[in-house]
Amino acid sequence: MEYKNVTGCIYDIQGYAVHDGPGIRTTVYTKGCPLRCLWCHSPESQHQEFELGYLPVKCIGADICQNACINACPEKAITRGEPVEATDKPGLMQKAKIDRSRCTNCLKCTEVCITKALYSSGWETTVDEVYERVMKDRGFFQNGGGITISGGEAMAQFAFTYNLAKKLKDSGIHICLDTSGYAATELYAKILPYIDLFLYDIKHMDSLMHKKLTGVGNELILKNARFLAEHKAALQIRVPVIPRLNDKETNLRQTAEFCVTLGSAVKLVQLLPYHKTGRTKYDRLGWRYKLPHLEPPDDDFMHKVLELFQSYGLNCQLH
């Protein structure tokens, strides 16, 4: 089969992904994204290359594993940390400490870490392998569930995403594509027949602001949205509501107006309040979170936003 050996880089596959489209879904998360949204809650999704992730809570201390990671590191980037209280018995333990300035993400340490406290932020896989895995969940997909291909930006690994969607479609699975809209229009044209529903983000209507917040302008994104609408795609527009960054009334109104212009292609507009759950993921990669002081919007405000969108006759929900 043509897609048998098509490879891709992914960082997770999750069942019961209740926020990624209708019904019970299993979501495949691909690695690599052309955008750099300030509020990004999946930092491990940004680069297609694998990085070293570290979850200190899983480290059992260098005494027990006999310096496994320290010995494995060719760059001498890992040392014994300060003694801390051991978790499973009285006494002290020394967990691994990573000098990120020396680390080259060679990931040799992840191969020897028994507890997977040191892990790779993703793995390379094939369409077939992913297909086998997600099809195990098929029993849950009845009544409107299915597979969501998300990212990162799934369109950035087009061959992989395209072939996976095609293969799943052949098996009669409902497929959502969660996309930023930032990819060449002809690629959307090509994948369109295999996608039942696009989960499509609109982050800001002003291109300059969009560039400030995400690193890229919005022209291509808006163009692709219009293209998909004109070609009878089904769209679920997702609007992240980020306090101070895109929640001004004018922007919200322009966003709603834009959704209206897309006509009947828009099945639903979901309003996604900013949340902080991604913060700890930055620590695992040794990165800095860019919005440390930002708080989620309160319920009252979100209900006002909902009413505003509803006043345009759009089918909306808070998510």
Partner 1 sequence: MTTTFMSKFDLPISERIKALKEKRERINKDMRLNFERNRIITEYYKNHEKEYPILKRAGFLYEWCATREINIDDDDIFLGDGGPRCRTVHFDIEQTSQTWIRSCFGDTDERFRAAWQVPGSVWVDDEDRQWILEAADYWKDKDIAATARGLFPPEFFERMGPFVEHLAGSYPGHFNPNYERAVTVGFGAVRRTALEKLEEIRKHTTADNVRSELFYRAIIKVCDGMILMSKRYAEACRKKAETAPTPERRAELLRMADSCDWIIENPARNLWEALQTMLFYQYLLIADGTHWADSPGLIDSFLGPILENDLKNGTLTPEQAQELFDAYLLQVGNQIIMFPKPTNDQLIEAHENGKTFFDLQGGAQNIAAGSLITIGGQKADGSGDYNLATEMMLLSYYRLRVAEPSLALRINKHTPDRIWELAIACSIRSGGMPQFNNDDVIIQTMLDKGVPLEDARRYAIFGCVEPAVSGKEWSMAANCGGFGGGASLVDILQYVIYGNVNPMTGAKGMLPCKKLYEYESFEELQAEFERQIKHYLDYQARLYHFAALVFNHEWPCLSASVMTEGCIESGKDVTWGGAKYNGMGSMFSAVGSVADSLMTIKKLCFDDKTVSTKELYDALCANWEGYELLRQRILNEVPFYGNDLDEPDAIMQWFTNFYADYYNSRPGVNNGTNNCGALDLYWVAAGKRAWATPDGRKAGEPLSHSSDPRQSAVKNGPLAYVKSVAKLPWDKMRCGGAINVRLDANSVRSEDAISKVRKLIEAYFAMGGIQFHFTVADTEVLRAAQKNPEDYKDLIVRIAGFSAYFTHLPFDMQEDYINRVELGV
- Residues of this chain that bind partner 1 (CB under 8 A): 14-19, 22-24, 26, 60, 64-66, 88, 114-116, 136-137, 139-140, 142-145, 277, 303, 317-319
Q: How far is the CB of 144 from partner 1 (least distance, A)?
A: 8
Nearer to partner 1, 134 or 205 (CB): 134
Nearer to partner 1, 72 or 209 (CB): 72
Q: How far is the CB of 2 from partner 1 (least distance, A)?
A: 29
Q: How far is the CB of 200 from partner 1 (least distance, A)?
A: 18
State residue 97 phi and psi, 5-degree precision: -125, 130
Classify the C-alpha dihedral 8-41-223-314 as positive or negative: positive
Bridge partners (DSSP) of residue 53 are 119
Q: Nearest 5 degrees, angle CA 188-CA 192-CA 193? A: 155
Nearer to partner 1, 248 or 303 (CB): 303
Nearer to partner 1, 140 or 287 (CB): 140
Classify the C-alpha dihedral 281-319-144-236 as positive or negative: negative
Give the relative orientation of helices 158-170 and 127-135 as an angle to the nearest 10 degrees: 40
Nearer to partner 1, 87 or 311 (CB): 87
Give the separation between CA 185 and CA 182, rounded to whole angstroms. Answer: 9
Q: How far is the CB of 140 from partner 1 (least distance, A)?
A: 4
Using CB atoms within 10 Å of the CB of residue 238, give its burial: 0 to 12 exposed, 13 to 18 middle, 19+ buried: buried
Q: How far is the CB of 151 from partner 1 (least distance, A)?
A: 15
Nearer to partner 1, 22 or 297 (CB): 22
Give the separation between CA 262 and CA 28, rounded to whole angstroms. Answer: 27
Comparing CA positions, the residue from 86, 107, 87, 85 lying closest to residue 98 is: 107
Q: How far is the CB of 116 from partner 1 (least distance, A)?
A: 6
Comparing CA positions, the residue from 142, 127, 231, 140 lying closest to residue 185 is: 231
